[in-house]
């Protein structure tokens, strides 16, 4: 995959995060790193920075001195994840719970001496998914193993990391690559290395779909390149749209739902919502998030001073639906109410 093939090998190859890179280069020079909390939007380069840091610290031994734990895999799969992962197989015990084995694994790994280095790195991506009892256990392990291990947490939701862990880390903020202008630069650089011509319209189309997520943008670029392999290597907006539409099906459906609701077509909205949830099996929270983002994009494109109150009410309704999803017997109920409110406001305005 291009996300791995074109991942930066050095910190000075990281785009869009000059202040973060400068700080980390200072740590590399001193051969020491504190515990870190990296936070920012998805696809902003947090994992790439960690791997580049490890390669500069450890050289050829970076794999031995860096353990990357994808927290989402552990949370979703539990004991199965521990059993099937070769690095963690020694810690597996059918009689113990997943969280007990997880704590033991982290504790023993953190205490092991590094290879040809003063300390090793333990990296948790999507760290906000860690249960609170696991985070409290990590806080104690961080204190006891400071001589042999440094902990790095990456998250899009820093408030989900308990204060006891946050206070023991240097916090580094990652801005969206779209905001810094680095996303376009990154995509053009990858396209050139792959022997592709990415037009300005194609570049803009990727930006529209990816929303600043570099990982998503690179995947779109790779998919478009594969599709164009037997044809011309020129990627324009049409080629990008041809591969991205299916991948972003929920977003398109949410935008169509919103447009129908704002035109007061409640019967059409209700029928489409039923199909999406019962036939397409879309999740309630997934659809709500896409609806919320669709409203925000519409606000950015079209909002006039006269529309400000109208769109503010739509955002409030979305927030209420999010709360109701927590206790609803079926996610269809609060989403149906949300879209009915959208349609009612449209006819009322």
The domains located in the chain, with CATH, are: 2-175 (3.40.50.300), 179-247 (1.10.8.60), 249-348 (1.20.272.10)
- Given a contact cutoff of 8 angstroms between Cβ atoms, the answer to whether 2 and 196 are in contact is no
Report the pLDDT value the prediction gives residue 318, as an integer from 0 to 100: 87
The sign one gets for the Cα dihedral 51, 56, 60, 66 is negative
User: Any long-range contacts for 144-149 (C-beta under 8 Å, 24+ apart)?
Assistant: 144/110, 144/111, 145/107, 145/110, 145/111, 147/119, 148/110, 148/111, 148/112, 148/113, 148/114, 148/119, 148/120, 149/109, 149/110, 149/111, 149/114, 149/119, 149/120, 149/121, 149/122
pLDDT tens string, the chain, 349 residues long: the values are 788 899 999 999 999 999 999 999 999 999 999 999 999 998 999 999 999 999 999 999 999 999 999 988 888 777 777 777 777 777 777 878 888 888 888 888 888 888 889 999 999 999 998 988 889 999 999 989 988 999 999 999 999 999 999 999 999 999 999 888 899 999 999 999 988 889 999 999 888 888 888 988 998 888 888 876 656 688 888 888 877 766 666 777 788 888 888 888 888 888 888 888 887 777 888 888 888 888 877 777 666 666 677 778 888 888 888 888 888 888 888 888 888 888 876 555 5
The burial of 273, by beta-carbon neighbours within 10 Å (0-12 exposed, 13-18 middle, 19 or more buried), is given as: buried
The residue among 283, 286, 291, 279 whose CA lies nearest residue 338 is 291
Q: Which residues pair with 68 in a beta bridge?
A: 123
Q: Rounded to two decimals, what is the model's pTM?
A: 0.76
- Angle formed at CA 108 by CA 102 and CA 113, multiple of 5 degrees: 145
Report the pLDDT value the prediction gives residue 314, as an integer from 0 to 100: 83
Report the pLDDT value the prediction gives residue 345, as an integer from 0 to 100: 63
Q: Which two tokens stand for residue 224?
A: 């478009």
Report the pLDDT value the prediction gives residue 173, as an integer from 0 to 100: 96
CA distances from 173 to 32, 39, 124, 218, 238 (A): 20, 5, 16, 22, 35
Order of strands, edge to edge, in the sheet holding 149-155? 66-70, 120-125, 149-155, 36-39, 170-173
Radius of gyration for the alpha carbons in the chain, expressed in angstroms and rounded:
23
- Given a contact cutoff of 8 angstroms between Cβ atoms, the answer to whether 177 and 212 are in contact is yes
Phi, psi of 337, deg, nearest 5: -65, -40
The residue among 254, 277, 256 whose CA lies nearest residue 328 is 277
First-to-last C-alpha distance (Å) of the chain: 49
């Amino acid at each position: 995959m291009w996300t791995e093939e074109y991942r930066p090998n050095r910190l000075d190859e990281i785009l869009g995060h000059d202040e973060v890179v400068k700080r980390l280069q200072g740590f590399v020079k001193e051969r020491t790193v504190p515990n870190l909390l990296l936070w920012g939007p998805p696809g902003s380069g947090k994992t790439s920075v960690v791997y580049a840091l490890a390669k500069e610290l450890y050289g050829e031994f970076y794999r031995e001195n860096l353990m990357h734990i994808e927290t989402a895999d552990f949370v979703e799969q539990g004991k199965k994840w521990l059993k099937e992962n070769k690095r963690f197989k020694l810690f597996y015990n059918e009689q113990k719970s997943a969280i007990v084995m997880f704590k033991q694994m982290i504790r023993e790994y953190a205490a092991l001496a590094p290879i040809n280095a003063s300390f090793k790195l333990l990296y948790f991506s999507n760290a906000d998914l860690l249960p609170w009892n696991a985070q409290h256990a990590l806080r104690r392990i961080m204190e006891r193993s400071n001589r042999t291990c440094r902990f790095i947490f990456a998250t899009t939701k820093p408030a989900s990391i308990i204060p006891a862990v946050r206070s023991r880390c240097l916090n580094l903020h990652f801005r969206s690559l779209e905001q810094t202008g680095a996303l376009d630069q990154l995509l053009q650089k990858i396209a050139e290395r792959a022997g592709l011509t990415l037009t300005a319209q194609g570049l803009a189309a990727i930006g529209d779909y990816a929303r600043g997520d570099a990982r998503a943008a690179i995947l779109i670029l790779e998919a478009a390149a594969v599709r164009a392999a037997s044809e011309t290597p020129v990627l324009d907006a049409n080629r990008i749209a041809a591969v991205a539409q299916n991948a972003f099906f929920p977003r398109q459906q949410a935008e169509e739902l919103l447009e129908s609701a704002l035109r007061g077509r409640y019967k059409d909205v209700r029928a489409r919502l039923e199909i999406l949830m019962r036939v397409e099996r879309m999740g309630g929270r997934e659809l709500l998030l896409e609806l919320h983002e669709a409203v925000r994009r519409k606000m950015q494109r079209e909002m006039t001073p006269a529309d400000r109150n109208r769109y503010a009410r739509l955002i409030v309704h979305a927030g209420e639906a999010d709360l109701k999803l927590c206790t609803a017997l079926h996610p269809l109920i609060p989403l149906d109410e949300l879209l009915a409110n959208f349609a009612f406001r449209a006819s009322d305005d």
